[in-house]
Amino acid sequence: MSDTPTSPKAPKPEIQRAKRWNAVWVVPIVALLLGIWLLYRNFTAQGEVAHVRFETADGIEAGKTEVRCRSVKVGMVRHVKLADDLKSVMVDIEIDRDEEDLLRKGTRFWVVRPRITGTELSGVSTLITGAYIELDPGPADAPLSENFKGLETPPATNRNVPGLRLTLVADQAGSLAAGAPIYFRGFEVGRIEGRKLSKDGSQVSYDAFISKTYSGLVTENTRFWNTSGIDISAGADGFKLRTPSFQAMISGGVSFGVTQGEEPGIAAVDGRSFTLYKDEDSAKKSSFDPTMRLLLLFDQTVRGLSERAPVEYRGITIGRVSRISFDLMPGAQNMSVPVLIEIDPRLMVPENPNKDKDADMAFIRQAVDKGLRGALKTGSLITGALFVDLDYYDDVVPRSMGKVGEFDTVPTVSSGLAQLEAKLSAVLDKFQALEIDKAVTGIGAAAKEIEATAAATRKSVSSLGPDGPMQGDMLRVLDELRASLRSLKSVTNTIEEKPNSLIFGRESSNNPVPKAAR
């Protein structure tokens, strides 16, 4: 019997549980977690976006132009596009999350790039590093904001620089521009930050900045005046020429100070407004406080006298001319020229601590009774400008103050050319009163007698001439006189040689005397 081979038993499979974790999954899980973390970080790191409107996008590039505050990067330009009105550009600026509080109302943005102006050269470093946007934070207590209007020109000083910020108001802008210096006694202490025209176009306002070190110099009684360009003026004080610094001549300049004799007052605070006067003289005159108005009636021409001309009392300026018009005395038959002056009587009367106007007027009345009169004087022979002079005169007719309408009047006297004309007229009147005809007749008779006397004199003198008989007689007398002198000299010589010759006579010589021929 044959052996039948038997098939081997199939191996029993070994069944194991599948592993739930595999190292292969580490990589995708880590990548997923990393992606989630990056998304979260990107979301949490994303700062606020500010929308800034500029006129042009010159120097601004998305993703490249940085935003800095005091040279520290605080953001980046993310997007640049044209505005809907096609007249400007909108720049989206992303500010770092830690610097979001910089976006508050009043924050200013401007592009820093190379600029050359009449006052300075700025932004030179951007030639290498490229342009960037500077951020100047607004006031700390201002609310947050997202929309801003960028500046086309950088401000003179950042708002975070400590100092005093003021507003100066003027009627005319002149050559004063942003960046112009502000001087105190010739020393630069601040700058003009900007200027703008009022809505009605009547005034120009300037934003002024004074450094903190010098902010105490500005007080409530401080006067600001324009020192731009070369100032040439002509008036009762003659010609005046003022030349500022070279920088002020180019970009303009402002000076300030307190008028001499006036108290400075309390220190000025931020935001205070001051008037900007056109020159130093106007600033000084602004402190003048007129408390009395008087009317002067002049009987002479007032040509050369202008409004705001000075009024002096014995050389001291106490006021100015307010108005020159016949309207000051309507309906009056008097042809005198009315001149209204306004004065500060405190400059001419004794100290009046109570500032009693009645006492000041009483002093003026007493002064008029003592001879105080108003007169026109020439302030400058070159310009012919006149000023009003109040002084005492001894030879005037006694007069008192009068009243014309609402104004008290002070008597006047003629002066200058008018006074000279009056004196010449008086001399001519006296000369005309003389009996000219009789004087001329008497002068004619005297002239005839003088002529006869001159003829007799000429006749007498003619005999003394070279052809006159007296001339010959005189020649013969002179010849005889010379002969006598020769004889006298001979006698003198003989006596000197032989004194006895006076007794015995002169010895005769042995020389025979030749006889005359027959």
Which range is least confidently modeled, 212-226, 334-348, 448-462, 497-511?
497-511
Distance CA 308, CA 294 (A): 14
Distance CA 493, CA 498 (A): 9
What confidence tier does 39 reach under pLDDT thresholds 50, 70, 90? confident
Average pLDDT of the chain, as a whole number: 78
pLDDT at 66: 92
Residue 334's φ and ψ, nearest 5 degrees, are -70, 130
pLDDT at 406: 86
Does 65 have pLDDT greater than 80?
A: yes
Q: Which of 136, 150, 135 is nearest to 58 (CA)?
A: 150
Mean pLDDT of 362-384: 86
Sequence-distant (6+) residues with CB within 8 A of 265 are: 219, 220, 221
- Domain ranges within the chain, ordered by starting residue: 44-149, 163-286, 292-425
pLDDT at 509: 52
Q: What is the DSSP string of 165-198?
A: EEEEEES--TT--TT-EEEETTEEEEEEEEEEE-
Q: Which of 425, 120, 50, 384 is nearest to 239 (CA)?
A: 384
Greater pLDDT, 414 or 62: 62
Q: What is the pLDDT of residues 402-444, one digit of tens each?
A: 888 888 899 998 875 555 665 666 666 666 666 555 655 666 6
Distance CA 46, CA 97 (A): 6
Mean pLDDT of 300-320: 86
pTM: 0.52
How many CB atoms are closer than 10 A to CB 288?
15
Residue 39's φ and ψ, nearest 5 degrees, are -65, -40
Beta bridge partners of 375: 389
Q: How many helices (H) and strands (E) does the chain have?
A: 9, 26
CA angle at 356 for the pair 350 and 357, rounded to the nearest 5°: 95
Greater pLDDT, 251 or 115: 115
Strand residues in 357-418 grouped as ranges (E): 372-378, 386-392, 402-404, 407-410
Does 470 have pLDDT greater than 80?
A: no
